[in-house]
Amino acid sequence: MSELLKVEHLTKVFTSGLIGGFEIRAVDDVSFTMRRGEIVSLVGESGSGKTTIGKLILRLIQPTSGRILFEGKDVLKFSRGELRRNYYRQVQAVFQDPFASFNPLHVVDRSFHLVFDSYFPRLDEGEREKLINDALTQVGLNPDEVLGKFPHQLSGGQLQRILIARALLLKPKLLIADEAVSMLDASTRIDVLNLLGDFRDKYGTSVLFVTHDLALGYYISDTTIIMYRGTIVEMGDTERVFHNPLHPYTQMLLESVPDLNVKWEFRGIEPEKEEGAVYSIQGCRYAPRCPRVKEKCFNVRPVLHEVERNHWVACHLYGGE
Ligand SMILES: Nc1ncnc2c1ncn2[C@@H]1O[C@H](COP(=O)(O)OP(=O)(O)OP(=O)(O)O)[C@@H](O)[C@H]1O
Ligand SMILES: [Mg+2]
């Protein structure tokens, strides 16, 4: 599989507008690559920077520093026109809040027609109707039940599936799915996850699957990236990360998932206790909460290094410098 997306030293600092306001390093020196057809899950607790990474890749916000390469091209240099004509045809996204993605004044069908108007203006009514029906059926919706309806007349789960159907209409090379199945009930969720997998198999679509649900990440992804407060603490082959978690934060996360059928030995890590602890700016961000913390962790930022093949960790317990 060849490389599709490369993110290098990506950083986003939000500043509060006030004089003397504080900075939030929402994404801090994040680097990773995605191959064609690869499903990568981006896992981390609320506020760890997952959505910000998605928005940066989509150029919805500007990074403070770093690079984003798509098929080797510098995404940050694309003009508005290039983004619209080219990039957004290949990179599609489904976001967390489906209600925010629809215009409340229009029936949901319109969101499909906007896609057709932009990218396939020559399609006639009949062709459009067939594509919409197929796309909706694929995500388990009955077209008659949703077409002609306003967003407020549909459930969050139905709207989320319409968004997935619309995103897949363009057969994108990359789909950013940000908590895209969170509103679905368990059985539909598995159907939609399987659909994403099938889509990848059929069209080679890569998926950046953003979730705070480890079990979903495990189910769907080839590669797992674990984020903590804007930084990647561990990443690699999903089987390796789940069966041999290295970072104390990953170990704690896995320990707190009761029903995940993963066999790794519990090494006596305590669940975290210091909710909202002030994180270490110079050192490891997890240091104030880490049960295996050493002096060095407060002073020196650990860098990601490969501990076993395709399994990376940023933690002083494993050397690396
Ligand atoms: N526009 C913004 N202005 C200021 N701070 C922001 C902005 N957007 C995000 N943040 C902050 O950046 C951090 C990361 O937010 P982000 O939405 O990326 O987290 P997340 O991992 O997606 O969380 P969740 O799981 O809750 O969706 C948070 O501290 C958030 O408050
Ligand atoms: Mg988010």
Residue 272 pLDDT > 80, yes or no? no
SS (H, E, C) 84-143: HHHHHHHEEEECCCHHHHCCCCCCCHHHHHHHHHHHCCCCCHHHHHHHHHHHHHHCCCCH
* Residue with CA closest to ligand 1 atom 24: 46
**Alpha-carbon distance 117 to 76, whole Å?**
26
Residue 267 pLDDT > 80, yes or no? no
**Alpha-carbon distance 233 to 312, whole Å?**
8
Residue 276 pLDDT > 70, yes or no? no
Do the beta carbons of residue 153 and residue 185 sit within 8 Å?
no
Domain-located, residue 178: no
52 Cβ inside 6 Å of ligand 1: yes
Domain-located, residue 294: yes
Do the beta carbons of residue 233 and residue 29 sit within 8 Å?
no
51 Cβ inside 6 Å of ligand 1: yes
pLDDT band per the 50, 70, 90 thresholds, residue 23: confident
User: What confidence tens digit (pLDDT) does each residue in 63-114 have?
Assistant: 999 999 999 999 999 999 999 989 999 999 998 788 888 999 999 999 999 9
CA dist 16 → 13, 20, 277 (Å):
10, 9, 20
Domain hosting 320: range is: 245-321
The token pair that represents 53 in the structure block: 């990474």
Do the beta carbons of residue 59 and residue 76 sit within 8 Å?
yes
Predicted local confidence at residue 260, as pLDDT: 61
Mutate to test the pocket of ligand 1, among 13, 18, 23, 24 (most ligand atoms within 8 A of CB): 24
Domain-located, residue 232: no
Predicted local confidence at residue 56, as pLDDT: 97
Predicted local confidence at residue 280, as pLDDT: 56
The token pair that represents 104 in the structure block: 């409340």
Residue 22 or residue 225, greater confidence: 225
Residue 279 pLDDT > 90, yes or no? no
Domain-located, residue 176: no
CA of 291 to the centre of ligand 2 (A): 27
CA of 97 to the centre of ligand 1 (A): 14
Query: Can you list the pairs that 280-286 forms with residues at least 24 positions away whose Cβ atoms lie under 8 Å?
Result: 284/314, 284/315, 284/316, 285/228, 285/229, 285/230, 285/231, 286/228, 286/229, 286/233, 286/247, 286/248, 286/249
Domain-located, residue 124: no
Which atom number of ligand 1 is nearest to the Cα of residue 61?
A: 1
Residue 310 pLDDT > 50, yes or no? yes
Residue 120 or residue 175, greater confidence: 175
| Average per-residue pLDDT for the chain | 89
212 Cβ inside 6 Å of ligand 1: yes
Q: Which of 22, 8, 29 is nearest to 228 (CA)?
A: 29
Which atom number of ligand 1 is nearest to the Cα of residue 52?
A: 18
Predicted local confidence at residue 252, as pLDDT: 92
Domain-located, residue 208: no
Residue 184 burial (10 A CB sphere; 0-12, 13-18, 19+): buried
Predicted local confidence at residue 22, as pLDDT: 76
User: What confidence tens digit (pLDDT) does each residue in 148-180 have?
Assistant: 999 999 988 889 899 999 998 989 999 999 988
Residue 1 pLDDT > 80, yes or no? no
79 Cβ inside 6 Å of ligand 1: no
54 Cβ inside 6 Å of ligand 1: no
What mean pLDDT comes out for the span 116-145?
A: 92
Do the beta carbons of residue 229 and residue 250 sit within 8 Å?
no
Looking at the structure of the chain, the number of domains it has is 1
Predicted local confidence at residue 186, as pLDDT: 82
User: What confidence tens digit (pLDDT) does each residue in 196-236 have?
Assistant: 998 899 899 999 999 988 989 999 999 999 999 999 999 99
Predicted local confidence at residue 266, as pLDDT: 46
Do the beta carbons of residue 313 and residue 246 sit within 8 Å?
yes
CA of 222 to the centre of ligand 1 (A): 25
User: What confidence tens digit (pLDDT) does each residue in 178-187 have?
Assistant: 988 887 888 8
Domain-located, residue 175: no
Predicted local confidence at residue 145, as pLDDT: 95
* Residue with CA closest to ligand 1 atom 17: 51
Residue 132 pLDDT > 80, yes or no? yes
Domain-located, residue 81: no
Mutate to test the pocket of ligand 1, among 15, 51, 60, 178 (most ligand atoms within 8 A of CB): 51
Q: Which of 163, 160, 165 is nearest to 138 (CA)?
A: 165
Predicted local confidence at residue 41, as pLDDT: 97
